[in-house]
Structure 1
Amino acid sequence: MKGILFIFFLLLSIVGYANDGAYFMSGNQLIPIKETSIEVRKEILSLKRVNNDFLEVTVDYTFFNPEKKVKTILVGFEAFSPSGDADFFPKNGQHPYMSDFTVNLNKEILSYEISYVSTENHNKKFSLQEIEKNREELDFAEFYYVYHFNATFKPGENHLVHTYMFRLSGSVDYLYDFEYILTAANRWANNQIDDFTLNIDMGNYQDFYINQTFFKSVERWTINGSGEKISNFMKEYRMSEGDTASAFFIQNGTLQFKEKNFHPKGELFLFNPRFFLIKNTFSLENNLPFNKDVAVFFDEIENKEALKVLQNLPYARRGYIFTNQVLKDYYEKMPWYVPNKEYVPEPNKLEEAELKWLNDLEKIKVKNTN
């Protein structure tokens, strides 16, 4: 595309992770780069975690063209450059940690181009040669990626499906985190999404937290399966200046948020913090994680009772109702524990990560064996 590329949205400030992590990318809505009368009637945003470290994103839009003739507009998708330990240089011209970018409008696959736009001056684009020079002189990128394409909307409703895959960010603070710019949707003609749905599938036996930037309580969320949800669970301290976050503990199934006439005032920030890296000795005063993928995070175990609690963690995740008083008292205090009268422990059906957890426990010293 020739000429100047104008971006009609505000960029979020990027927090550099230095050498303690890699910020791979941040996803954005599809938005019109040029002024338009096109409206967003419906959006279904689906996030699915795959192979632990990747997120599959599918966005299903219904647009409405109120005019009596077709209208072609330039649409852009923004992705921040990687920083920290990640290489920000384009791979085959594309974002190095993003793949399978597709846009399907009314059952037609659209071609796209990629521009590298300055973070300081939105009117300036970089060439690959300039980026290579930047790479040699700096350990961070001064540009972001913009995937852009021409979209021709027929009169009335238009169906657009947008997909991509990218690697989840991680750091010393987070096992993973994901940011999605919701407010860009307000740039369309109707200044909102008439019917918005957000589906999240992070896998079974997972806990994650979402900043309450576009919702007030977990009552707006539905667990399609089994699990627990808690409003105002914690303060997220790094990416969003201490926003209150809700907690979601998913035994199985998916999480869903729905709202009509959705005019978001904040962005989606989903994260899983590393709570458990500071303890050397595990005792009954310490909380245990719900996340099945967590590794042993202590050097020794206080006593035999604490060991028994640790050995029963996989069964507590599934809601086993304990008769042992120590186990009963401990797990009933866990915010994620949901009793299940139907569950019968089956060690041979535990997840691979849980079997590793039990195996690793055998290598940990028990401090007091009396």
Structure 2
Amino acid sequence: MKSFLLIALVLLSFSTYADSGIFYSEGGNLFPVQETSISMQKEILRFTYTPEGLVVDVFFEFNNPGETRTEIVGFVVPPCMTYEDIDFNFDVEKEMRHPYVYDFIAAQNGSILPYKVTKYESRGFSTTIDGVEERDVIYYFNVTFEPGVTKLYNHYVFKGSKYRNEDFLYRLKTGKMWANQTIEDFTMIIDASGQWFELPATLSKSIAAMAYEINGVGKISEIQGDPNKIHAYLTCGYLSLHCTNLKPDYDINLSFKSLSSKYYDFSEIYTNDFNIELPSLHWIIGSDDAKRYEGEFEGITLEAIQDMINFVYSIHGYTFGGKDFYHYFEKFSWYIPNPQLSENDIKFTVEEQAFLTALINERAKRN
């Protein structure tokens, strides 16, 4: 039985890496090959952003024009972003999972498959594919490709590590390793209400810009100075992409922006507009403790303090009373005004509330 590896997910520190390609095993080593018979007819990729972690669902549909073949299919999951983030005491084979992956499911044609989990280094595997290392973890199982269509499904929840960030990479380029070097029918869904994120403008050299669509309330904006990426903000709903005969030349890089990123965006433009430099707050603004901001607003005018308070409200679409504020915040890609929203309707995150409390306390001291 020849074995191949369908690298369908790779996660690093709340980051997602996903490849789909075929490999064969020889002497314990894995080598990438060009699959000459089985084609990838369909891939549906869904990311669901939650406070607890990233939920990933991937559906593949393959066509085997030849005889029945039983292969080894594997999903590779690196342990983390950095060596410092590795739990060396975690027994992958005993626990039957990656230390940060939960609820893993592999299924074929609607039936859940038994799988095994091991570390790459313990099996002596090696590969020349970028991003796959000896420390990686592999979920692997047998798949029988009958003549015709075979459907594979993968699901898991990644709950992050102690160095959690919000950058995601899904490797799409290896979709060209199948028979037709094409993903015949590709769909991506990003379900991330309330999130501001960055994504690639295109996935193929032959397509200048992908036809992303907002299903709900949100907006897509160009990034000044970077034609290869765009911003998307979703008040509610999801972003989708559907295309046919995709020959992927680029991977899917997603970067979900934090409060710190939004504040940096606001402060940079605010400084350019009014020639008033706001405090950087780079290492503080993600804190849930208002006391961390003590002493950070020295030299900042009362008017600027109020504008920073307005910034926190604007994140949630607050429209303010005056048209000047309304029109000013419209220039930001993360602002969508909601005329029905009142102050009491807003549910601040703990980080936003800490920042807001510190600003209100500072304003009170000035009055």
- The one-letter amino acid of 2:169's match is E
State the match for 2:297 in structure 1: 300
Alpha-carbon distance between aligned partners in 1 of 2:278 and 2:249, rounded to the nearest angstrom = 34
Residues 176 and 258 (structure 1), Cα distance of their counterparts in 2 relative to 1, 3 Å cut: same
Alpha-carbon distance between aligned partners in 2 of 1:198 and 1:284, rounded to the nearest angstrom = 35
State the match for 1:245 in structure 2: 229
State the match for 1:344 in structure 2: 340
Post-superposition shift, 1:176? 1.2
TM-score calculated relative to the size of structure 1: 0.72
Q: Is the Cα contact below 8 Å between 1:221 and 1:257 reproduced in 2?
A: yes
Post-superposition shift, 1:166? 1.3
State the match for 1:153 in structure 2: 145
State the match for 2:198 in structure 1: 209
State the match for 2:222 in structure 1: 231
TM-score calculated relative to the size of structure 2: 0.72
| Larger fraction in strand | 1
State the match for 2:115 in structure 1: 112
Structure 2 residue 59 is the aligned partner of structure 1 residue 56: no
Post-superposition shift, 1:364? 3.5
- The one-letter amino acid of 1:300's match is F
Post-superposition shift, 1:151? 0.6
Q: Is the Cα contact below 8 Å between 1:33 and 1:75 reproduced in 2?
A: no
State the match for 1:266 in structure 2: 250
Alpha-carbon distance between aligned partners in 2 of 1:44 and 1:234, rounded to the nearest angstrom = 31
Query: Could you say what secondary structure the match of 2:85 adopts?
Result: coil
The one of 181, 187, 195 equivalent to 2:185 is 195
Query: Could you say what secondary structure the match of 1:312 adopts?
Result: helix
Q: Is the Cα contact below 8 Å between 1:197 and 1:256 reproduced in 2?
A: yes
Gaps of 5+ in 1: 15-21, 125-140, 236-242
Residues 200 and 270 (structure 1), Cα distance of their counterparts in 2 relative to 1, 3 Å cut: same
Alpha-carbon distance between aligned partners in 2 of 1:277 and 1:222, rounded to the nearest angstrom = 26
Post-superposition shift, 1:180? 1.2
Q: Is the Cα contact below 8 Å between 2:70 and 2:143 reproduced in 1?
A: yes
The one of 275, 298, 317 equivalent to 2:261 is 275
Q: Is the Cα contact below 8 Å between 1:229 and 1:249 reproduced in 2?
A: yes
Query: Could you say what secondary structure the match of 2:137 adopts?
Result: strand
Post-superposition shift, 1:145? 1.7
State the match for 1:331 in structure 2: 329
Q: Is the Cα contact below 8 Å between 1:201 and 1:255 reproduced in 2?
A: yes
Alpha-carbon distance between aligned partners in 2 of 1:319 and 1:325, rounded to the nearest angstrom = 14
Alpha-carbon distance between aligned partners in 1 of 2:61 and 2:4, rounded to the nearest angstrom = 24
State the match for 2:166 in structure 1: 176
Query: Could you say what secondary structure the match of 1:359 adopts?
Result: helix
Post-superposition shift, 1:114? 2.6
- The one-letter amino acid of 2:196's match is D
> Which is further off, 75-84 or 246-255?
75-84
Alpha-carbon distance between aligned partners in 2 of 1:209 and 1:245, rounded to the nearest angstrom = 7
Residues 111 and 228 (structure 1), Cα distance of their counterparts in 2 relative to 1, 3 Å cut: same
Alpha-carbon distance between aligned partners in 2 of 1:143 and 1:232, rounded to the nearest angstrom = 36
Post-superposition shift, 1:331? 1.5
Q: Is the Cα contact below 8 Å between 1:183 and 1:265 reproduced in 2?
A: yes
Alpha-carbon distance between aligned partners in 2 of 1:315 and 1:24, rounded to the nearest angstrom = 27
Query: Could you say what secondary structure the match of 1:275 adopts?
Result: helix
Query: Could you say what secondary structure the match of 1:45 adopts?
Result: strand
> Which is further off, 328-337 or 70-79?
328-337
Q: Is the Cα contact below 8 Å between 2:305 and 2:363 reproduced in 1?
A: no
> Which is further off, 192-201 or 109-118?
109-118
Residues 145 and 234 (structure 1), Cα distance of their counterparts in 2 relative to 1, 3 Å cut: farther
Q: Is the Cα contact below 8 Å between 1:31 and 1:76 reproduced in 2?
A: no
Q: Is the Cα contact below 8 Å between 2:115 and 2:140 reproduced in 1?
A: yes
Gaps of 5+ in 2: 25-34, 128-132, 272-276, 280-284
Query: Could you say what secondary structure the match of 1:335 adopts?
Result: coil
Residues 164 and 258 (structure 1), Cα distance of their counterparts in 2 relative to 1, 3 Å cut: same
Post-superposition shift, 1:161? 1.5
State the match for 2:73 in structure 1: 75
Q: Is the Cα contact below 8 Å between 2:101 and 2:157 reproduced in 1?
A: yes
Residues 339 and 76 (structure 1), Cα distance of their counterparts in 2 relative to 1, 3 Å cut: same
> Which is further off, 182-191 or 30-39?
30-39
- The one-letter amino acid of 2:64's match is N
CA offsets per residue over residues 14-52 of structure 1, 9 Å max, x none? Answer: 9xxxxxxx7466432344334562221111100111225
Structure 2 residue 7 is the aligned partner of structure 1 residue 27: no
Report sequence identity in percent.
Answer: 28
Post-superposition shift, 1:338? 3.3
